[in-house]
Amino acid sequence: MRERNRENKGLPARWRLYHGAYYFRVPVGEEGKWDGKKQFRLGKTLPEAYAVWAKRMEIQEQAETVAELLDKYALRVVPTKAVKTRVDNARAIKRLRAVLGDVSISEVRPKLIYQYVEHRKTKRVDESGRVQGGGTAAHREIEVLSHAFTKAVEWGIIDRHPFKGEIRLAGEKPRTRYVEDWEIIECLGLSSQREKGSVRLIQAYIRLKLLTGLRQGDLLRLRLDDLREDGIHVEPRKTAHTTGKKLIFVWTPERRAAVDACLEVRQVHISASPWLFCTRRGECYFKESRGEARGWKAMWQRFMKRVLAETAVRDPFTEHDLRAKAGSDAESLERARQLLGHADAAITQRVYRRRPERIE
């Protein structure tokens, strides 16, 4: 067999990337299963291609190599995840297949996992001039591989996980950026010639974010009918399929004022859109088809650029740092856990409690 082209390495057998789309080379004699075609177009993106492939392929009950296990995982498990997670998993699977695809499942040991992580951490420039490698990406890929082996035990392919609980990867340090009160005041004081629009909208968003601690996706998905008599009703999407827990942020004068500010700076009439935060067309900033809010992120970056240029703030902060500030400013760890909607206070303490402790 000749070596596969660079863009096809890591893809399942008989797949290839051609003119910006993924194609499957149909085995001779099986054209009837693929609409009579010798090359079947699967889709433009990896998640789309895997979804189409899953509908047409019969999933084999056994898997002998890592590549076969990852294909099985991509067909059975990945489609059940959120859109953004499916995209990330598809990329991770492609990288894992390129390096470990030919390895037998029985040969996977902790030593191999450490070697893979070291290999991925090495910075290198590919043929297109892009820098490849990184510890964070390597850890995410190992998480996908580990879950694939967990499912392999569930499916009866193997008897036990070959490396779960037996490796200790140096974890990434959580961010420690704490946004000071004076920095928030500087941001809220940024002037704008327009009474409505991006700057005013971001400022109103910051106010509500600090009073609720909601994740970006949950805050941008807020609808007007979520603003009820007893408070702001939210079902966090991240835990919707696990705990299914719902939150009600009881009205306070500050929260009512923050919501009123959000309504005042909308660029459309209240009746023209059901979303609290909406575009000029009345659409939600968060696009479910992509699992992200690109327009909102671009607007935030422009806002932060002005903040650094026109205020006394010198250290940029992310939108997610505001969620950490809400958790840091809570009077107790339990209050912070409740506000952020965490099931376990450990993640609250490790990632979101960033305010320096004052020792008398």
Are residues 128 and 224 located together in one domain of the fold? no
Are residues 186 and 249 located together in one domain of the fold? yes
Whether residue 251 lies inside any domain: the answer is yes
Whether residue 254 lies inside any domain: the answer is yes
Of the pLDDT bands very low, low, confident and very high (cuts 50, 70, 90), residue 232 is: very high
Of the pLDDT bands very low, low, confident and very high (cuts 50, 70, 90), residue 277 is: very high
Least confident of 112-121, 190-199, 270-279, 303-312: 190-199
Direct distance between the N- and C-terminal alpha carbons of the chain, in angstroms, rounded to an integer:
71
pLDDT in tens, 44-77: 888 788 878 777 765 555 788 999 899 889 888 8
Are residues 106 and 220 located together in one domain of the fold? no
Q: Which residue has the tokens 């498990």?
A: 77
Are residues 48 and 139 located together in one domain of the fold? yes
| 135, 154, 173 - which closes a domain | 154
| More confident position, 339 or 226 | 226
Are residues 131 and 212 located together in one domain of the fold? no
State how many domains the chain has: 2
Residue 122, pLDDT > 80, answer no
Amino acid at 221: R
Residue 109, pLDDT > 80, answer yes
Least confident of 126-135, 136-145, 321-330: 126-135
Query: Which of 202, 213, 258 lies closest to 236, judged by CA?
Result: 213
CA 338: distance to chain centroid? 22
Q: What is the pLDDT of residue 126?
A: 54
Whether residue 159 lies inside any domain: the answer is no
CA distance linking residue 276 with residue 54, whole number of Å = 38
pLDDT in tens, 6-49: 777 778 878 888 888 899 888 887 777 788 888 899 888 887 88
Are residues 346 and 274 located together in one domain of the fold? yes
Q: What is the mean pLDDT of the chain?
A: 86
Residue 194, pLDDT > 90, answer no
**Percent of the chain whose pLDDT exceeds 90:** 42
Q: What's the residue count for the chain?
A: 360
Q: What is the pLDDT of residue 180?
A: 94
Which domain range does residue 209 map to?
181-352
Q: b or e along 57-92 (b: 16 or more beta carbons within 10 Å of the residue's beta carbon)?
A: eeeeeebebbbbbbbbbbbebbeeeeeeebbbbbbb
